[in-house]
C-alpha cells in the first residue's frame, strides 16, 4: 500500500503511543520483580532502586543516576544542586513543555526563554549568547523530540558567564551527540520516566544525572527532606524519591531500550520514505553528529488544525508538541514577552504535528497514517473532502 492508494485498510484506531504493546512484552518479568518487592516490603529505596540507578548510569556512561518522584522534580533538583538560587536567571528554549519553566520558577529563579533554530527547533546558541546577563546562573538546553541539543556550542557561552549547563533530557533517553549520551553533556540533567517516554515507568518517576559527586550528594539530600543523615536536616528540601515498584518496571524496560530505540529509528526512516512525495510537508531529519531516538516524529505543515482534526476523526492519534510557546502561556505572561518575541518558536507552534510513532508500530499502520495524512493534506489544499 502507498500514499497514492485511494482505498484504506481498516486497521482500527492507531494511538500516538501504544503502551499496551510494551507492557505485554515485559509483563512476566515485571510481575516477578514486583513479587520480590512485596515479599521484602522494600517500597522506598532498597536494592531495586539502587540496581536501576546503577544500570541507567552505566547505560548513559555517567557516574550518578539519582531516582526521584517525577521529571519536574528532577529538573528542579538538578538546578538547585548545580547552584541555581532564587533571583538567578536560567536561559531555556521557548518551545518546550511547561515543566522546564516550572522547575526554574519553583526555585524562585527567573525563566529566560529564547528562540530556537528553524531547522531542528533546538535552542539557538546565538540567542542564548544574546540573552546572557551578569545574573545568568544556568543554561538549560532541551533535547526535544528525541534529538540532542548542540551543547558543545553552549559550553563556551556558559563558561564565559560562569553558568552551569543543566540539561532537560526528558525526551532523549539513549540519544547521543558525537557518541556522548544526552543527559551527560552538562553539569547535571533531569529526565522524566513518564509512561509515554522512551523509557517510561508505570506512573510518575524521574531521575537526575550527573558526573559530579558533590552534585549527586546534594541531589540526594535535597530530595530526602534536605537530610543526608536521618533526622538531621541541613536545608529545606523536598520529598521526591523513586518508588521501588517503578524501579522494577524501568529496569526491565531498560534491557530493551536500545532495541526499542532502533525500532523507532526504523519507523522514522519509513515515515520519511512514505511522506517524501506529499507536497507542503516539512519532514524532520537528524542533525550531523546526532543519533536521535525519535521520542516524537514531528512534521510541519500549513492548515495544521484542519489536518489534525481529519486524522483524529479517522482514528489516528496525532497530536501537537507543543501548541503554545512558554512565553505565550498565562502562567508565564508575567515575563513580559508578547507575540513576536520568538518568531521561530511561534511559527513552528502553529505548524507542528506529531504522528504516531512507538517501537511496536507496524509498517501497515504507518502506511495507513501516511495515506490518511496525504488525503487530509490534499483536501486542505484543494478545499475538497478526502476520498
Each residue of 79-128: pLDDT tens digit? 999 999 999 999 999 999 999 999 999 999 999 999 999 999 999 999 99
Q: What is the pLDDT of residue 79?
A: 98
The question of whether 230 is a catalytic residue gets the answer no
- pLDDT surpassing 60 at residue 1: no
**Contacts of 359 by beta carbon, 8 Å cutoff, 6+ apart:** 21, 22, 259, 260, 261, 263, 264, 267
% of residues, the chain, pLDDT over 90: 92
Q: Give the span between the Cα atoms of 27 and 23, in whole angstroms.
A: 5
Confidence class for position 380, pLDDT limits 50, 70, 90: confident
Mean pLDDT of 248-271: 98
Q: Give the span between the Cα atoms of 235 and 220, in whole angstroms.
A: 12
Mean pLDDT of 219-243: 94
CATH, domain range 258-382 = 3.90.1150.10
Residues 209, 65: contact at Cβ < 8 Å?
yes
Residues in the chain: 387
- Listed by start position, the domains of the chain span 22-250, 258-382
Confidence class for position 11, pLDDT limits 50, 70, 90: confident
22-250: CATH topology: 3.40.640
- pTM for this one? 0.95
Q: Give the span between the Cα atoms of 12 and 17, in whole angstroms.
A: 14
**Contacts of 195 by beta carbon, 8 Å cutoff, 6+ apart:** 19, 201, 202, 203
Amino acid at each position: 500500500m502507498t500514499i497514492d492508494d485511494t482505498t484504506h485498510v481498516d486497521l482500527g484506531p492507531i494511538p500516538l503511543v501504544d503502551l499496551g504493546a510494551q507492557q505485554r512484552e515485559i509483563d512476566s518479568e515485571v510481575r516477578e520483580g514486583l513479587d520480590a518487592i512485596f515479599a521484602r516490603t522494600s517500597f522506598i529505596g532498597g536494592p531495586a532502586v539502587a540496581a536501576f540507578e546503577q544500570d541507567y548510569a552505566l547505560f548513559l556512561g555517567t557516574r550518578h543516576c539519582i531516582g526521584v518522584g517525577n521529571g519536574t522534580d528532577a529538573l528542579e533538583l538538578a538546578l538547585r544542586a548545580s547552584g541555581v538560587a532564587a533571583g538567578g536567571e536560567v536561559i531555556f528554549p521557548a518551545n518546550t513543555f511547561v515543566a522546564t519553566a516550572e522547575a526554574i520558577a519553583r526555585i524562585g529563579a527567573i525563566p529566560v526563554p529564547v528562540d530556537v533554530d528553524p531547522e531542528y527547533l533546538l535552542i539557538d546558541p546565538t540567542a542564548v549568547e544574546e540573552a546572557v546577563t551578569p545574573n545568568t546562573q544556568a543554561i538549560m538546553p532541551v533535547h526535544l523530540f528525541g534529538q540532542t541539543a548542540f551543547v558543545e556550542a553552549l559550553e563556551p557561552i556558559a563558561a564565559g558567564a560562569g553558568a552551569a549547563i543543566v540539561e532537560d533530557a526528558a525526551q532523549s533517553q539513549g540519544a547521543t551527540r558525537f557518541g556522548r549520551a544526552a543527559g551527560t553533556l552538562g553539569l547535571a540533567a533531569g529526565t522524566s520516566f513518564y509512561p509515554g517516554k522512551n523509557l517510561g515507568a508505570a506512573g510518575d518517576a524521574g531521575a537526575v544525572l550527573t558526573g559530579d559527586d558533590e552534585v549527586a550528594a546534594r541531589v540526594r539530600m535535597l530530595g530526602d527532606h534536605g537530610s543526608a543523615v536521618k533526622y538531621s536536616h541541613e536545608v529545606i528540601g523536598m520529598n521526591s524519591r523513586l518508588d521501588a515498584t517503578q524501579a522494577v518496571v524501568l529496569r526491565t524496560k531498560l534491557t530493551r531500550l536500545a532495541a526499542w530505540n532502533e525500532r523507532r529509528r526504523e519507523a522514522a526512516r519509513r515515515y520519511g520514505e512514505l511522506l517524501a512525495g506529499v507536497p507542503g510537508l516539512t519532514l524532520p531529519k537528524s542533525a550531523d553528529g546526532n543519533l536521535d531516538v525519535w521520542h516524537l516524529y514531528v512534521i510541519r505543515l500549513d492548515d495544521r488544525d484542519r489536518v489534525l482534526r481529519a486524522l483524529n476523526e479517522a482514528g489516528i492519534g496525532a497530536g501537537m508538541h507543543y501548541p503554545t510557546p512558554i512565553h505565550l502561556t498565562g502562567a508565564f505572561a508575567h515575563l513580559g514577552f508578547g507575540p513576536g518575541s520568538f518568531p521561530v518558536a511561534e511559527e513552528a507552534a502553529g505548524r507542528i504535528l506529531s504522528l504516531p510513532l512507538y517501537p511496536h508500530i507496524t509498517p501497515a499502520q504507518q502506511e495507513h497514517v501516511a495515506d490518511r495524512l496525504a488525503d487530509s493534506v490534499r483536501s486542505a489544499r484543494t478545499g475538497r473532502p478526502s476520498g
